[in-house]
């Protein structure tokens, strides 16, 4: 069957894009053909359509979002809802027409919206998808990575009726999929909607690549010496990632050879957090390297010869991973860490506590603050190859059992079997 993935953006190194790419691989392996429709695609994306108006950064979308989620209002000041709705409707109608074109052009059998019906970063797209699905009855698997009520930034809105109707919509042709048991429980409790559980996964059945000549100069390019220890922070730079805890960990290690390296971009929620981290690291005497321009989903070489390394290259050259997220939908970076057999420090965020930690994984765990015990264990793992090896092999075996592509493929087939196809 032809599967149509739809989102605001299916490009780059954000968790939704990376997880969607994994689903593409899984679906191809079981005989299906994926297609993409989004506001931004990578050159290596599956066939599909770029619809610039679908991007959350499109100027009209940003204007609508600012009005829909005002930071604050003067007492007694009423929002201009008529003006806002007059902007949402034509934008949604235009996107609905684009969806119809996409479905027709690629003979889509199943729509697979990625987070576009969960978190209202693009209200017109959520409205367009809801109306298109309701009008056509097209079989749909709505994949929810983040539910809007989990985010403080969406707590105040002037269009709560739209959020209740579209994020997510309760329609007969839609199967809802969430990535954690907490989201599953929350969706049922808040909206009365039952959802399938499909956690983030990784291709644990396929061995990771080996270091090669392309990435042989990676450490030199990001100005590390052969003796430096690369402490990897493989996440976007947004406040919920808790990167200040990684800085504090490196500070307390007291080793000038430990360099904290951030591979993912800032900017999705503004640049202020990055600047705060850089200032914090400078005051703490921590060597923080923000090198997002050197990494991408896949390797590439610019016309001037400058390399962009893959995320895999970053893991292959890392000595330790920090994953101190305060909130996460699941934990994509954590699975990557396990796959590349690296030790990690993990903050016990809610989904980790509910769905990952109880399985018996072995990490350096903290709960909102860096402790002397955690720092001592990080230091031990950096120095003790035997302890490190025991940790990473145990974690790999558990992840292979619970979070592999074969597990996800079986679950997807179960879900698809419930659709009227």
207 within some domain: no
Looking at the fold, whether 315 and 222 belong to one and the same domain comes out as yes
* Beta strands 300-301; 307-310: pairing state: antiparallel
Q: Are 173 and 322 part of one and the same domain?
A: no
Task: Tell me, yes or no, whether 150 and 291 share the same domain.
Answer: no
Assess contact for 304 and 272: CB atoms under 8 A.
no
Please give the mean pLDDT across all residues of the chain.
Answer: 94
What percent of the chain shows pLDDT beyond 70?
Answer: 97
Number of domains in the chain: 2
Domain match, 272 and 145 both: no
Using alpha carbons only, how large is the chain's radius of gyration in Å?
Answer: 22
The pLDDT, as a whole number, for residue 78 is 53
Kindly report the pTM of this predicted structure. Answer: 0.84
Which residues in 243-272 are b (16+ Cβ under 10 Å) and which e?
bbbbbbbbbbbeeeebbbbbbbbbebeeee
Residue 327 pLDDT class (50, 70, 90 cuts): confident
Evaluate if residue 19 carries a pLDDT over 70.
yes
Q: For the residues 293-313, what does the mean pLDDT come to?
A: 90
Task: Tell me, yes or no, whether 393 and 410 share the same domain.
Answer: no
Q: Looking at residue 287, what is its pLDDT? A: 97
Pairwise CA distance, residues 337 & 205, whole Å: 15
Phi, psi of 179 (to 5 degrees): -110, 5
pLDDT of residue 80: 53
Quickly count: other Cβ atoms within 10 Å of residue 52's Cβ: 12
Let me know whether 409 and 380 are in one domain: no
Residues 189-212: pLDDT tens digits? Answer: 999 999 999 999 999 999 999 889
At residue 261 the predicted structure's pLDDT band, cuts being 50, 70 and 90, is very high
Neighbours of 369 (CB within 10 A): 9
Judge if 272 and 147 occupy the same domain. Answer: no
Are 183 and 241 contained in the same domain? Answer: no
Mean pLDDT of 92-112: 98
- Give the CATH number for residue 245: 3.40.50.2000
Residue 212 lies in a domain: no
**Would you place residue 267 in the very low, low, confident or very high pLDDT band (cuts 50, 70, 90)?**
confident
Residue 81: band (very low, low, confident or very high) from pLDDT cuts 50, 70, 90: low
Note whether residue 299 is domain-resident.
yes
| pLDDT at residue 76 is higher than 60 | no
Q: Domain residues for 146?
A: 2-201+405-417
* pLDDT in the model for residue 82: 59
Report yes or no on 309 lying in a domain.
yes
What value does the mean pLDDT take over residues 404-414?
96
Estimate the share of the chain in helix, then strand, then coil, as percent rounded to the nearest 5. Answer: 45, 20, 35
| pLDDT tens-digit map of 337-384 | 999 999 999 999 999 999 999 999 999 999 999 999 999 999 999 999
How many whole angstroms separate alpha carbon 4 and alpha carbon 37? 7
Give CA–CA dist 177/115, Å, rounded. Answer: 10
Task: Answer yes or no: is pLDDT of 421 > 60.
Answer: yes
Determine, yes or no, domain membership for 242. Answer: yes
pLDDT, position 129: 98
Co-location of 398 and 291 in the same domain: yes
Residue 277, domain member (yes or no): yes
409 in the same domain as 381: no
Residue 213 located in a structural domain? no
**Neighbour tally for 402: CB within 10 Å:** 15
Q: pLDDT by residue (tens digit) across 116-146?
A: 999 999 999 999 999 999 999 999 999 999 9
Given a contact cutoff of 8 angstroms between Cβ atoms, the answer to whether 242 and 350 are in contact is: no
> Residues with Cβ < 8 Å from 236, sequence gap 6 or more?
13, 14, 15, 264, 265, 266, 268
pLDDT of residue 385: 96
In a domain, 48, yes or no: yes
72 pLDDT band, cuts 50/70/90, is low
Cα dihedral angle (289, 292, 293, 299), rounded to 10 degrees? 120
263 and 388 within one domain: yes
Is residue 14 domain-shared with residue 47, that is, in the same domain? yes
């Amino acid at each position: 069957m032809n599967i149509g993935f739809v989102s605001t953006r299916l490009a780059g190194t954000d968790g939704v894009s990376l997880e969607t790419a994994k689903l593409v691989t899984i679906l191809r392996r079981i005989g299906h053909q994926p297609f993409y429709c989004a506001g931004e695609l990578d050159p290596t994306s599956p066939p599909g359509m770029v619809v610039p108006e679908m991007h959350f950064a499109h100027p009209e979308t940003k204007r609508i979002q600012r009005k829909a989620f005002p930071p604050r209002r003067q007492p007694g000041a009423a929002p201009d809802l008529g003006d806002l709705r007059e902007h949402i409707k034509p934008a949604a109608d235009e996107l609905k027409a684009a969806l119809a074109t996409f479905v027709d052009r690629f003979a889509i059998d199943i729509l697979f919206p990625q987070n576009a019906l969960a978190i209202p970063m693009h209200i017109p797209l959520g409205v367009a998808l809801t109306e298109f699905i309701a009008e056509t009855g097209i079989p749909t698997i709505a994949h929810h990575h983040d539910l809007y009520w989990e985010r403080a930034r969406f707590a105040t809105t002037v269009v709560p009726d739209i959020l209740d109707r579209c994020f997510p919509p309760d329609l007969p042709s839609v199967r809802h999929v969430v990535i954690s048991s907490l989201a599953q429980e929350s969706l049922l409790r808040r909206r009365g909607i039952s959802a399938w559980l499909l956690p983030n996964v990784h291709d644990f059945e396929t061995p990771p690549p080996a270091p090669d000549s392309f990435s042989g100069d990676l450490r030199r390019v990001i100005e590390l010496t052969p003796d430096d220890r690369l402490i990897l922070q493989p996440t976007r730079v947004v406040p919920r990632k808790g990167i200040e805890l990684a800085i504090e960990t490196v500070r307390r290690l007291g080793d000038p050879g430990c360099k904290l390296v951030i591979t993912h971009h800032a900017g999705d929620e503004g640049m202020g957090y990055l600047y705060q981290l850089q200032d914090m690291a400078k005051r703490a005497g921590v060597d923080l390297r923000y090198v997002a321009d050197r990494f991408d989903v896949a390797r590439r070489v610019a016309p001037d010869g400058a390399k962009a390394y893959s995320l895999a290259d970053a893991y292959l050259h890392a000595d330790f991973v920090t994953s101190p997220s305060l909130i996460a939908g699941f934990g994509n970076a954590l699975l990557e860490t396990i796959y590349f057999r690296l030790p990690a420090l993990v903050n016990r965020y809610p989904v980790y506590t509910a769905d990952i930690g109880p399985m018996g994984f072995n990490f350096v765990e903290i709960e909102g603050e860096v402790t002397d015990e955690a720092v001592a264990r990080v230091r031990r793992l950096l120095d003790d190859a035997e302890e490190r090896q025991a940790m990473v092999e145990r974690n790999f075996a558990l992840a292979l059992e619970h979070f592999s592509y074969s597990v996800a493929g079986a679950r997807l087939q179960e879900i698809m079997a419930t659709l009227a196809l």
